[in-house]
Structure 1
Amino acid sequence: MEIIPGILVHSLEELKQTLKKLSWAKKIHIDIMDGKFVPNQTIQLAELKKINPKQNMQIHLMAHKPETYVKGFAKLGVKEFIYHAETSKQNKILIEKIKKTGMKAGIAFNPETTINKFKNAIKEAELALIMTIHPGFSGQKLIKKPLAKIKQIKTINQNISVGIDGGFNLTNCNLVKTSETDFAIATSAITKQKKSKEAYTKLRKKSN
């Protein structure tokens, strides 16, 4: 199971400090929130452009009109672009658009979202992200029920990589591991720890 440090910040300065703290990481997961789809607003594409992180970037977009973000993130060199299924009425078309840019296309699902109506999109997607908290803020407790979606999604698309986001830590990493997840995002458990690399190492050892 791959462990990816998560970044949820609200200013350019906070982003700079966090990227410096995670300079050891090869890959980072960056939350982009518009303050409308979720009750929080983070840094936007404009701030990322000013820094252009050297690490491989996995973008988690929590915003309306995801199609308007694709070109900008592709130009920035983002490797993986994940948006929420709930924000688009043309998921299959949007996934194809993302893939054409060279980015890996991912689709995220809120805890209450049922995946049955998104089967066609899942078949086309390369990544799926299951929210195990209600999106918007880090530090929440992991919700167990959505973990069942991992096997459901893999039944629809055997080649898809499925991850979880929210509440992942040393206490529940064994539970997450048994759910057959391929990757897990850790913001509070890694990024917000004083010794982030040490926290990552401990989490990785216990999860694999």
Structure 2
Amino acid sequence: MTKVLPSLLASDFTRLGHDIEKMEAAGADIFHLDIMDGQFVPNISYGMPVVEAISRTASIPLDVHLMTLDPEQFIDALAALGIDMVSFHIEATNHPHRLMQRIQQSGMKAGIALNPHTPVAHIQHLLAEIDFILIMTVNPGFGGQKFIDTCVDKVRTLDALRAEKGYGYEIEVDGGINQETAEICREAGADLFVSGSHLFKSEDWQEAVREMKQ
């Protein structure tokens, strides 16, 4: 089932509560929150006080994408806020399996994010236990980038492995996702579609969400 995840990094932070309520009314399924530390990626987004405010305001599930070094440091705080999904980058930790288990034991779904240059083979040993895989279809750190077509091959690979092995993970895509690229990724096997600029800059948010779900 196709789910649309508006990326709140593209919202108007002076009207964050308003945008959350309006996007929920438009039919969004899950909100996507990008946490950047200026180290793992060359940008800083927002920290726990903003995540806490979002968790109090939003009534749909929250998906946190940790674009940080030492992602382990955030797990307890995210669990305490009732976050539903947490993904981290395979390059950001020396112990990905342990971190995956810790996230799951904290009551959250665990995901691993793959940068455009990171092959599926790097997470092969985790596929039987992981809840979702986040395929970055742009280089992480900035919004509004152009979709990288070659990343779709990883979606196809993961979809084929899921069917062959009976794995239960979902496939999430993030970066340059609009109506056209969402359709490409859906045909390749993606389930969860993160979209920032496309949704928040649309004149009719409800129509934009509806079209992406189709």
Q: TM-score, normalised by structure 2?
A: 0.87
Q: Is the 8 A contact 2:156 2:189 kept in 1?
A: yes
Aligned partner (choices 165, 170, 187) of residue 178 of structure 1: 187
Residue 176 to residue 9, structure 1, CA distance change in 2 (3 Å): closer
1:204 is matched with 213
Structure 2 residue matching 1:102: 3-state secondary structure: coil
**Aligned sequence identity (%):** 29
Letter in 1 for 2:185: V
Q: 2: CA distance between counterparts of 1:171 and 1:10?
A: 21
Out of 2-11 and 57-66, give the one that drifted further. Answer: 2-11
Give the superposed CA RMSD: 2.0
Aligned pair in 2 of structure 1 residues 10, 29: CA closer, same or farther (>3 Å)? closer
Give the drift of 1:17.
Answer: 4.2
Contact 1:107 1:122 in 2 (8 A): no
Residue 117 of structure 2 corresponds to which residue in structure 1?
112
Contact 2:11 2:19 in 1 (8 A): no
Tell me which residue corresponds to 2:3. Answer: 2
**Structure 1 residue ranges without an equivalent (≥5):** none
Deviation at 1:113, TM superposition (A): 0.7
Report matched runs for 1:39-58 at 5 Å: 39-51=42-54, 52=56, 53-58=58-63
User: For residue 130 of structure 1, what is the amino acid of its counterpart?
Assistant: I
Displacement of 1:11: 8.8
Question: What is the deviation of 1:188?
Answer: 1.3
1:151–1:49 Cα change, 3 Å: same
| TM-score between both structures, scaled by the size of structure 1 | 0.89
- Per the TM alignment, residue 14 of structure 1 is displaced from its structure 2 partner at its CA by 5.1
1:151-190 paired onto structure 2 within 5 Å: 151-154=156-159, 155=161, 158-190=167-199
| Structure 2 residue 83 is matched with structure 1 residue 82 | no
d(CA) in 1 for partners of 2:135 and 2:19? 24
Residue 94 of structure 1 deviates from its aligned partner by: 0.3
Write 1 or 2 for the structure with the bigger share of helix. 2
Report the 3-state secondary structure (helix = DSSP H, G, I; strand = E; otherwise coil) of the residue aligned with 2:52. Answer: helix
Q: Alignment partner of 2:171: what SS?
A: strand
Structure 2's unaligned 5+ residue stretches are: none
Shift of 1:104: 0.5
What is the DSSP-based 3-state SS (H/G/I as helix, E as strand, rest coil) of the residue aligned with 1:175?
helix
Determine if contact 2:182/2:193 at 8 Å carries over to the other structure.
no
* CA distance, structure 2, for counterparts of residue 35 and residue 21 of structure 1: 30
CA distance in 2, matches of 1:120, 1:12: 39
101-110 or 184-193: which moved more?
184-193
Bigger mean CA offset, 155-164 vs 79-88: 155-164
User: CA 1:127 to 1:98, structure 2 compared with 1: closer, same or farther past 3 Å?
Assistant: same
Name the structure 1 match of 2:131: 126
Q: Cα–Cα, structure 1 residues 14 and 67, in superposed 2: closer, same or farther, change >3 Å?
A: farther
Q: Residues 186 and 12 (structure 1 numbering): CA distance in 2 closer, same or farther, change over 3 Å?
A: closer
Partner of 1:19: 20
| Per-residue deviation, 1:195 | 2.5
Residue 9 of structure 1 and its aligned partner are, at CA, apart by 5.6
- How many equivalent residue pairs? 205
1:78, distance to aligned residue in structure 2 (A)? 0.6
What residue identity is the alignment partner of 1:87? A
Structure 2 counterpart SS, 1:22: helix
